[in-house]
Amino acid sequence: MLSEIRAKAEAGKRLDRAEGLWLLSEAPLLDLGALAQESRFRLHPEKQVSFVIDSNPNYTNVCITDCQFCAFYRRPGDAEAWTLTVEQVLEKVESPPRVARPQCYSRAVTIPRCLSTITSLS
Ligand code: SF4
């Protein structure tokens, strides 16, 4: 399957659903990486790469969604719960970038009272 996919990619043809599913679920990771690298250099032959520094200036860790994988949140009223003021959030957002201009977004935590914080920042 990999050689057919590589041939299609080199010809600039779209992959079909079954090929996409195979890449997602069965392709050997190193082969998938090599294929991605080939596609990348076909589209952008320069050997220049840039990076984005992500920043998550969370304004609170209070949440009621209870995602099982999450170690970040605290339930309302928890001793370790915190919510920043608008000034504190702006200070986090405006702090100087360490290397490059960071991409900055805030995760929406599920708690109704945070809506006033969000709207006052926009
Ligand atoms: S919604 Fe976000 S903060 Fe809340 S429990 Fe899920 S991952 Fe954690």
Helix axes 29-43, 2-10, angle to 10 degrees: 10
For residue 90, the surrounding DSSP H or E stretch is: helix 86-94
Residue 101 confidence (pLDDT): 52
- Residue from 60, 62, 64, 67 whose mutation best tests the ligand 1 pocket (most atoms within 8 A of CB): 67
pLDDT, mean of residues 16-38: 93
In a domain, 96, yes or no: yes
Same domain, 34 and 78: no
Q: Which residue has the higher pLDDT, 77 or 94?
A: 77
16 part of a folded domain? yes
Containing domain of residue 27, as a range?
2-43
- Ligand 1, atom 7, lies closest to the CA of 70
- 58 and 117 housed in the same domain: yes
pLDDT value of residue 100: 52
| Rounded distance from Cα 86 to ligand 1 centre (Å) | 21
Examine the domain organization and report whether 68 and 98 are in the same domain: yes
Q: Which is more confidently placed, 121 or 19? A: 19
For residue 74, what pLDDT is reported? 95
65 lines ligand 1 (CB under 6 A): yes
Mean per-residue pLDDT, 35-63: 86
The dihedral over CA atoms of 36, 37, 39, 42, expressed in degrees to the nearest 10, equals: 170
